[in-house]
Amino acid sequence: MKKCVMIVMLLCFSLQLTYADEVGLAKVQSALQSLMPGAKPDSVAESVIPGIYEAVFGAQVVYVTGDGRFMIEGDVYDINRRVNLTEGKRQDGRIRTIKSLDPESLITFKPKETKYVVTAFTDIDCGYCRKLHAEISDYNDLGIEIRYAAFPRSGPQTTSYFKAVSVWCAEDRGKAMDFAKGGAKLEQLQKVAQVNDSKACEKSVQKHSNTARDVGVTGTPTLFMENGQIIPGYVPADRLIKILSGKNS
């Protein structure tokens, strides 16, 4: 008899916890909708911290209390394991977001044998972007494939923006990128652009720019590894290969 009573009590307790979880989740989702209308999270679930929920928006991770009152932006560390749990979620989000880009919309410089793939957000007029591109053969010689996505830092409807559109509209986009990174002026780049496709090219540049913001790009060049790790700024080929191969000291 006592055993049956204990089983019933455990079942009731389990149901109470499930109900409490559902109520907490509903409050958190309502709070997020109120705070960020129109933004749909990729996931909302209980975090490893009791009473705190984790909401993931692409590469952005926020934490919300179960009553939906407080939101926390920051990193959660597992002290015993010495692991940044939040950064792991960000990397997963970056991978999904970068993979959402159409590979055909990227300008790719491939080595003879690809060992690593790096997606680089680039600005035509960025000095360090030009330095990176001047050394593109060094990266390729080490088996590093560079895939360019456009991120004109000055924003839409600016000279850098239209330079990017012209490059992405060129019949041979690789040569156009070489030309642009060599210091070509907008008028020169527009001559090699396929004007009839300008709207499609603009869509690609806009999509890339929006994606850059979603994954936290603030400057150029910004490099993304296949595991979701972000490398801000220019990195020479010999150092980048060490990072990619896990041999960076």
* Residue range 105-147, pLDDT digits in tens: 999 999 999 999 999 999 999 999 999 999 999 999 999 999 9
Q: Is pLDDT at 27 greater than 90 in this prediction?
A: no
- CA-based R_g, the chain, Å: 24
- 2-98: CATH class: alpha beta
Residues of the chain with CATH 3.40.30.10: 102-245
CA distance 26 to 41: 13
**Other Cβ atoms within 10 Å of 8 Cβ, number:** 10
Cα 74 from Cα 54, distance rounded (Å): 11
pLDDT of 18 over the 50 cut: no
**Can you tell me which residue has the tokens 């490099």?**
223
- Per cent of the chain over pLDDT 70 is 88
Q: What tens digit of pLDDT does each residue of 154-198 get?
A: 999 999 999 999 999 998 999 999 999 999 999 998 887 765 557
Residue 134, classed as helix, strand or coil, is helix
- Annotation: CATH topology of 102-245: Glutaredoxin (3.40.30)
Asked if omega into 221 is within 30° of 0 (cis), the reply is: yes
pLDDT digits (tens, 9 = 90+) for 59-97: 889 999 999 999 999 999 999 999 999 999 999 999 999
- Does pLDDT of 248 surpass 90? no
> Which part of the chain is CATH 3.10.450.70?
2-98
Cα-Cα end-to-end distance for the chain: 65
Residue where the block lists tokens 């490398």: 231
Residue type, position 175, single letter: K
**What is the structure's pLDDT at 145?**
98
- Region 4-24: mean pLDDT is 43
Whether the Cβ atoms of residue 66 and residue 30 lie closer than 8 Å to each other: no
